[in-house]
Structure 1
Amino acid sequence: MNEETKNEQQQVEDVDVKSDEVVEPIFDEVNEDEVQPESSSSVVVELEEKLEEAEARYLRLRADFDNFRRRVTLDREASEKYRAQSVISDILPALDNFERALKMQADNEQTKSLLQGMEMVYRSLVDALNKEGLEAIEAVDQPFDPNLHQAVMQAEEAGKESNIVLEEFQKGFKLKDRVIRPSMVKVNQ
């Protein structure tokens, strides 16, 4: 044999010796002849306990994953349902300005035609927002609801019941079932 072949054979023998050295102690530790009946039952009990712990850990992990999946689904549905909320919130002040401008009295034909054009733009804007799920909150002559109304004034009117909205200063809006902006109102004492 040449020198290189001898070196390769020596390396293979070294590897075989090392792997035998690792495997033999493991087999020495668990020798079936040496296992006593009492220790085997304790080993079985110990293994059953470990199995129960592993099953419990698995069930907790699965429950956590199911909760995570449910939470992600609910978040996705909510974001889809209320996707237009930020845009609508930004447009509401423009709607308020349109309403104030439309309350202006027209003196001549030019002003009347300008107001008609503004009203058409206002109506198309309101229709587009209604298609997205925007609803105006009814306030006047309704019972005061702190979830829908923001009381900025109180007054006493004789012909009305207590806690009834007398006047609306700023319209409130809901997007589907979520209040975007509460109505600013005057409430009867």
Structure 2
Amino acid sequence: MTEKMNEVEKETTESEEVSAETATLDAAEETVTTSNESSEEANEESDEKDQKISELEAKLHEEENKLLRVLADFENAKRRATLDKEALNKYKAQSLLTNLLPVLDNFARALAVETKTDEAQSIMTGMDMIYRNLVEALEGEGLVEIETLDKEFDPNFHQAVMTGSEPDKPSGIVLEELQKGYMLKDRVLRPSMVKVNE
């Protein structure tokens, strides 16, 4: 009987050990399953985070590009405004000088008249002084007379209104200036009217 009891106890103990091992295996499987599930969840969360990060990086890059374009536009507008201001300052006297060119022409014509009396000569001397003062003032504003005589014809500075023929001079040379031309610094206000050799 004791042997039977021992066997029963032994079987019970073995059965308990098997149950314990089974429980341990079940717990291990459950842990592995839970671990796999949490690993999958972690991978999904990681993928979502990576996707959000790349979306945010793309938006940041786009905003940086917009900012760079706006800055470039601002710099261009600033540069254009500076150039416009410089041109305005440089050529501010253009309309006044253009209006005074006929006055210079009339002075030159009046001074070309020959005087016969002392009284007329003194008037001409006074007019010559006024003319020189006017020319100096206009030159101070940037007015420059275009040189023409014995220069090669240049359509940028000269306007040919007549042609002549002088065999001792090369073709295309200005023979005579009919009306003076003027420039304001580097801009032509009025081209010279000239007679050009054929």
> SS at 2:193's partner residue?
strand
Question: In the aligned structure 2, how far is the partner of 1:154 from the partner of 1:48?
Answer: 74
1:104 and 2:145 are equivalent in the alignment:
no
CA deviations over 1:91-140 (Å, ceiling 9, x no partner): 11000001011111112222212211111111110011111121111001
1:144 and 2:150 are equivalent in the alignment:
no
- What corresponds to 1:65 in structure 2? 74
- In the TM superposition, 1:156-171 aligns within 5 A as 156-171=165-180
1:175 and 2:184 are equivalent in the alignment:
yes
One-letter amino acid of the counterpart of residue 68, structure 2: L
1:44 and 2:53 are equivalent in the alignment:
yes
> SS at 1:47's partner residue?
helix
Question: In the aligned structure 1, how far is the partner of 2:58 from the partner of 2:156?
Answer: 54
2:93 to 81, 84, 87: 84
Question: In the aligned structure 2, how far is the partner of 1:99 from the partner of 1:138?
Answer: 16
1:40 Cα deviation after fit? 2.2
- What corresponds to 1:5 in structure 2? none
CA deviations over 1:12-51 (Å, ceiling 9, x no partner): xxxxxxxxxxxxxxxxxxxxx9x73322222211111111
- What corresponds to 1:133 in structure 2? 142
Question: In the aligned structure 2, how far is the partner of 1:121 from the partner of 1:173?
Answer: 19
The 4+ residue runs of structure 1 with deviation greater than 2 A are 35-40
Question: In the aligned structure 1, how far is the partner of 2:124 from the partner of 2:97?
Answer: 23
Sequence identity percentage: 53
RMSD of aligned Cα (Å): 1.5
CA deviations over 1:62-103 (Å, ceiling 9, x no partner): 011111111111111111112211111111100000101111
1:147 Cα deviation after fit? 1.1
Gaps of 5+ in 2: 1-41
> SS at 2:155's partner residue?
coil
Question: In the aligned structure 1, how far is the partner of 2:105 from the partner of 2:75?
Answer: 45
> SS at 1:59's partner residue?
helix
One-letter amino acid of the counterpart of residue 139, structure 2: N
1:156 Cα deviation after fit? 2.0
> SS at 1:154's partner residue?
strand
Whose radius of gyration is greater, 1 or 2? 2
1:185 to 182, 188, 194: 194
1:113 and 2:122 are equivalent in the alignment:
yes
Question: In the aligned structure 1, how far is the partner of 2:71 from the partner of 2:171?
Answer: 54
